[in-house]
């Protein structure tokens, strides 16, 4: 979520810290029933005032407090954000740290453990292009489980396709595996055959973080 990125000090593609712009401020004001410009003014805070929580629940029934955590919080794993360096026909890969939007993606430890993932086998990479819309948008962050390379029909995977890292849905058709896109423009994003040596599974996409709501 964009707000969590602001709270965690994530940086934009230009290297500057993410913040609340005018457009987002106006949306938040409208959603909280505040007059326009309310967020542009200083306000006295009372963290221990029990009315603060009550007002929040009145505005957003079922809301829970935002928890700001540290990098060494034992309830979270820090998943490295990387770019992949690949070669055509080679099963191995190298990772390059992604530093523009922060170097790690924080995920709940209980989610990782519940799904029996190995933290050291998880990587976070950015989605490129529009081929997987409306399920994945360019700039979305996805977590890839490199420990799961078994292909299942309908699963979404990070794939080494002739030396290029792509995110595609695997489809079984006519006895062969195909790299398919979710975009409805199938003329532009045609399926590609996934034969031995042409595409190598890097890992399965198991989670995403998006700014699209």
Domains identified in the chain and CATH numbers: 2-59 (no CATH), 76-209 (2.10.109.10)
Residue 14 confidence (pLDDT):
54
Q: What percent of the chain has pLDDT over 90?
A: 48
Cβ atoms of 148 and 202 closer than 8 Å: no
Give the tens place of pLDDT for each residue, 25-36. Answer: 677 777 676 777
**Nearest Cα residue to 127 out of 112, 118, 140:** 140
- For residue 64, CA distances in Å to 8, 53, 57, 67, 96 come to 18, 9, 8, 9, 36
Report the relative pairing of strands 176-180 and 192-193 from DSSP bridges: antiparallel
Per-residue pLDDT at 6 exceeds 70: no
The HSE-up count of residue 37 (CA atoms within 13 Å, CB side) is 0
Cα 177 to Cα 85, 149, 204: the distances in Å are 24, 14, 15
- Sign of the dihedral defined by the CA atoms of residues 168, 169, 172, 173, in that order: negative
- Its pTM stands at 0.69
| Lowest mean per-residue pLDDT among 71-80, 95-104, 116-125, 169-178 | 95-104
Containing 23, the helix (H) or strand (E) segment is: helix 22-31
| Helix (H) / strand (E) containing 192 | strand 192-193
Convert the pLDDT of each residue in 52-102 to its tens digit.
Answer: 556 655 666 666 666 666 667 889 999 999 999 998 888 888 888 887 767
């Amino acid at each position: 979520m964009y707000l969590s990125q602001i709270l965690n000090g994530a940086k934009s593609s230009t290297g500057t810290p993410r913040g609340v712009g005018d457009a987002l401020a106006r949306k938040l004001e409208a959603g909280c029933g505040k007059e326009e410009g309310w967020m542009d003014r200083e306000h006295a805070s009372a963290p221990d005032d029990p009315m603060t929580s009550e007002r929040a629940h009145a505005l957003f029934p079922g809301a829970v407090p935002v928890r700001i955590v540290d990098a060494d919080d034992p309830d979270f794993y820090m998943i490295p954000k990387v770019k992949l360096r690949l070669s055509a026909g080679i099963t191995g890969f190298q990772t390059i740290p992604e530093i523009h939007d922060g170097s790690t993606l924080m995920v709940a430890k209980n989610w990782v453990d519940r799904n029996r993932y190995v933290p050291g086998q998880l990587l976070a990479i950015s989605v490129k292009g529009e081929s997987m819309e409306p399920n994945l948008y360019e700039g979305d962050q996805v977590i890839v489980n490199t420990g799961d390379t078994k292909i299942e029909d309908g699963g979404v995977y990070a794939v080494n396709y002739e030396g290029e890292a792509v995110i595609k849905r695997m489809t079984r058709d006519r006895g062969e595996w195909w790299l398919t896109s979710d975009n409805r423009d199938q003329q532009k994003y045609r399926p590609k055959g996934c034969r031995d040596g042409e595409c190598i599974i890097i890992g399965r996409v198991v989670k995403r973080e998006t700014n699209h709501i």
